[in-house]
Amino acid sequence: MKIGAIIVNYNDSKRIVLLVNKLLAYSVFSDIVIVDNVSNEEDINNLKNQLTQYQVHILINETNVGFNQATTNGLKLLSDMKNDYAFSINSDIEVSKETIIAHVSFLEEHNDYGAVSCKMIEGGKEKQMYYQFPTIRSEVRNDLGINKLFHIKPKIRKKHDGYIDIDFARSSFLCLRMEAMEKIDYFDGGTFLYFGEAILGIKLKKLGYKEACLLNYKYYHNHIYKNGYKMNGYKATYKDSLYLFKKYYKVSKFGFFRLKAAYKIGILIRKAFRIS
């Protein structure tokens, strides 16, 4: 059995070097692929100079293709190298060997699951790591800030002993069955950064695969948030949502009108209250 990992880089080589060295020390991974999205020359050289182990493969994209296509590029390379399972791991993640092994063991024992993750800890608190498939209604609520205001949580599909069935999990730490990834043609590069995990879950479900969250394991997300409202991120989210709804849903013209109207109102709300 071969286990691989993918880490997407954009000018974050210092943290990636630390992460990769920790992962290699676990003696679990056959291959670790770092996919670079056109970082600066110094950052790329740091990767090449610091990570010379034979298990580490550095793939440099000619252009910044976004997170989802970069992940797909890495998955295809892992597929060529005959890996059975692959982890999508962000550069700001800390995870134990025990947790990694538990994810692979779960997929080994549950052939009808295409992906699995676990609880996420951020800032010392457990944070949301799984979501429901998006709908026009849910995206309108997101744009208007209703989900945050009323703390609306995603529904669990089914609860089992030690894990729950979910629609889809964050890709910050996600264990993937390579056989399933090959069948669904990996992540959809039509979205740049957002909704990649949602589309992945949609494609897995169409082929009869499920996703799960392990309740007895966790990973740590050391994300650094910037102050102020992130208008560019909000606009990018809207653009990627349009792609998802056009390609994977049958949405009426009125549905798209509602989505566009909520987006424009959301811009006004964010500018007025400087919220993200």
Contact 32, 19 (CB under 8 A): no
Q: What are phi and psi of 185, to 5 degrees?
A: 65, 35
Please, where are the H alpha helices in the chain?
13-25, 41-50, 66-80, 97-109, 136-143, 146-149, 178-184, 196-206, 231-248, 253-273
Q: Could you report the per-residue pLDDT of 175-189, keeping only the tens digit for each? A: 999 999 999 999 999
Is residue 274 scored above 80 in pLDDT? no
Beta bridge partners of 36: 9, 60
What are 222-251's pLDDT values in tens digits?
Answer: 976 555 446 778 889 999 999 999 999 999
- Those residues with Cβ within 8 angstroms of residue 167's Cβ, 6 or more apart along the chain or in another chain: 130, 131, 132, 133, 154, 157, 198, 201, 205, 211
pLDDT at 242: 96
In this structure, what DSSP letter does residue 26 have? T
pLDDT at res. 39: 95
Mean pLDDT, all residues of the chain: 93
In the chain, % helix, strand, coil (3-state, to 5) comes to 45, 25, 35
User: What is the second-level CATH architecture of the domain 3-273?
Assistant: Alpha-Beta Complex (3.90)
Q: Which token pair is 24?
A: 């290699």
Tokens coding 134: 């998006």
CA 143 – CA 266 distance, rounded (Å):
5
Q: What is the value of pTM for the model shown?
A: 0.93
pLDDT in tens, 1-59: 999 999 999 999 999 999 999 999 999 999 999 999 999 999 999 999 999 999 999 99
**Dihedral-angle region of residue 46 (phi above 0 means left; psi in -120 to 50 means alpha; beta otherwise):** alpha
- d(C-alpha 74, C-alpha 76), whole Å: 5
pLDDT digits over 66-108, tens only?
Answer: 999 999 999 999 999 999 999 999 999 999 999 999 999 999 9
130-131/125-127 β-pairing? unpaired
